[in-house]
Amino acid sequence: MIQQINKYNGFFQALNAFKDSKTMQKIIPMLHSDKKNWGSSLSGGERQLISFARAILQEPKVILLDESTSAMDNDNEAIAYRALKKALPETTLISIAHKESVLKYHQRMFILSNNENKETEVTKKKLGLIL
């Protein structure tokens, strides 16, 4: 029972990393409610924000994010990545995404295609050309 309470408290501490998100401020009261199926009333982006908080709670050494912000707007995407980087500075983040906006949260980019596979540094100059 105490372990469950600690996980519960830890989860809400992890949610605090998203205090700048207006979306998360809307979600948190729902999490405290007695509604049994509150998860079914969340949008895709809201579910993705909660997934980021759960990742912070687990404190992994590596996080593989596959289209993890596809349903988020750019503001919530920025909040989510900043929260991960601040809470888990030693964690390696690997993102698979179609959204080019994700590039700015990484140091390296791997391009995989049928014709070539290459690694390149993500620089402001390249970001300017891409975005």
The structural domains of the chain, ordered by start, are 2-130 (3.40.50.300)
* Cβ 70 vs Cβ 40: under 8 Å: no
pTM of the model: 0.73
Percent residues over pLDDT 70 in the chain: 68
**pLDDT at residue 72, rounded to an integer:** 92
Does the pLDDT of residue 92 top 50, yes or no? yes
Work out the pLDDT band at 1, boundaries 50, 70, 90. Answer: very low
More confident residue, 1 or 33: 33
- C-alpha to C-alpha distance for 26 and 104, rounded to whole angstroms: 27
> What are the residues whose beta carbons fall under 8 Å from the beta carbon of 99, sequence distance 6 or more?
69, 70, 77
pLDDT tens by residue, 12-49: 677 777 777 787 777 777 766 666 676 677 889 888 98
**pLDDT at residue 35, rounded to an integer:** 64
Q: List the beta bridge partners of residue 119.
A: 110
When pLDDT is averaged across residues 67-92 and rounded to a whole number, the result is 92
